[in-house]
Structure 1
Amino acid sequence: MPRRYPSTIAAAVDNELVIKKSRFIAHAEPVASAEDADRVIAAVKHEAWGARHNCSAQVTGALGDQARSSDDGEPSGTAGVPMLEVLLRRELTDVVVVVTRYFGGVKLGAGGLVRAYSSAVSEALELATIVDRRMLSSVAVTVEHADAGRYDNLLREWVRTRGALLGDPVYRAKAEFVVWAPPSELPALSAELAAASSGSVRPVLTGAEKLVGIPRHSSRD
């Protein structure tokens, strides 16, 4: 069974909640590393310097194996951890969330804070486009120059329905195409090429792999 990778989000999103006169402004943003996430947190704190709290949570790494959170002055466990739990529950990585709170004068209590911070993050993420990730393997397909146009069309059509990608062709002594596809789809590609070439064209594994993101369609689309 192929390894499952956590998803991420396509772009930054913001959302605001008002609860008992306190404003909770959530900012979620995709990041490339923990250091990148720290820069986002610092930028939000600089922008919202007058706020009482700028609580944060982040998950990074291809497998989501790095996680951190901060209550930023709220009672321990009432902000950062609930925010982090939202990210983990949604199986997201390479994402940072910062919730800026402008205190409205009414205390919410520990339970109220947990609900407020987790809801702020959840509602912000509802606005985000989720990007699913999968590992693709690379194969090379080499054909005669005279056949390049036909195989270019065939491969473009094939990758469109297989969650795969086609690189730009390279023309040397022959024309070479590189296809990035889920390993489970490679037997189908071999069969397709064999049928189109009477068995003379075969994909050759290059040994290269890469993690790619594919935006998930939602009910808003």
Structure 2
Amino acid sequence: MSQPPSSTGYVTPATTIERELEVKKSRFIARAGPVADRRAALAFVDSMKTDYPDARHHCWAYLVGNPDTAASAAMSDDGEPSGTAGKPILNVIQHKGIGDVIVVVTRYFGGVKLGAGGLVRAYAGATQQALADLPLDAHRPQQGFDLAFDFADEQPLRHWAEQHGAQLQSIDYGNRVTARLDVPVEQVEAFQAFLGSQGIERIKPPDD
């Protein structure tokens, strides 16, 4: 159930959901969820492409930060006529007043052309349908940490995150494990103490 905005002025997705809309035999599958930055948004798009690899279009828009003064926003028509997909998706997001959110609408073409107006209505409608059911939380200011650590440190890190309301945005495995963790600002001091006790290294994030 949706919660009212906090004193920070906006709400954010509490989870990820998916809804489907059919318009003249075309399927529009809308997935909405939380994202903290551009990298997380593009990874969210990639996951949709992986789940629906045979779809013709994966159109999207995201907004990071307060929707009234967004720190970052972007959109993509992904091959649909310019302005018929990404912009309608973003417009619905802005109208809903939701921040730190992405919506990807995947389309399976049904053989009937919808025209520019029809596409705008369909992409906006699919987005509306997903956001209408999206559980929301009051925004909690967070600080991002890019980390490098040994494999043995992953489980203690995940446990700390679960106990303190931190969100693991990404994780990659190489010679060492690298990860992006968003920590509530009121837990930053405790997290820094945890990093010191574990010997986990904080690294400078690459430029977006």
Would you say same fold, with TM above 0.5? yes
Could you list the runs of 5+ residues in structure 2 that have no partner in the other structure? 1-5, 142-184, 188-208
Measure, in 2, the Cα distance between the counterparts of 1:116 and 1:72: 15
Matched, 1:131 2:137: yes
Question: C-alpha distance in 1, partners of 2:48/2:139?
Answer: 27
Mapped partners of 1:210, 1:83: distance in 2: 33
Cα RMSD after superposing both structures: 2.2
TM-score by length of 2: 0.62
- Structure ranking higher on relative contact order (CA contacts 8 Å, 6+ apart): 2
Query: Which of 103, 114, 123 is the equivalent residue of 2:120?
Result: 114
| TM-aligned CA deviation for residue 134 of structure 1 | 6.1
Is 1:8 matched up with 2:12?
yes
Number of corresponding residues: 138
Give the letter for the 1:15 counterpart: R
Work out whether 1:79 is the aligned partner of 2:94: no
Alpha-carbon deviation of 1:6?
2.5
Which residue of the partner structure matches residue 32 of structure 2? 28
Matched, 1:88 2:88: no
Q: What's the counterpart of residue 56 of structure 2?
A: 52
CA pair 29-68 structure 1, distance change in 2 beyond 3 A: same
Q: Greater CA radius of gyration, 1 or 2? A: 1
Structure 1 stretches of 4+ moved >2 Å: 2-6, 61-65, 132-135
Partner amino acid for 1:23? Answer: R
Of residues 21, 46, 70 in structure 2, which corresponds to 1:17? 21
TM-score (norm 1): 0.58
Match of residue 189 from structure 1: none
Deviation at 1:133, TM superposition (A): 2.4
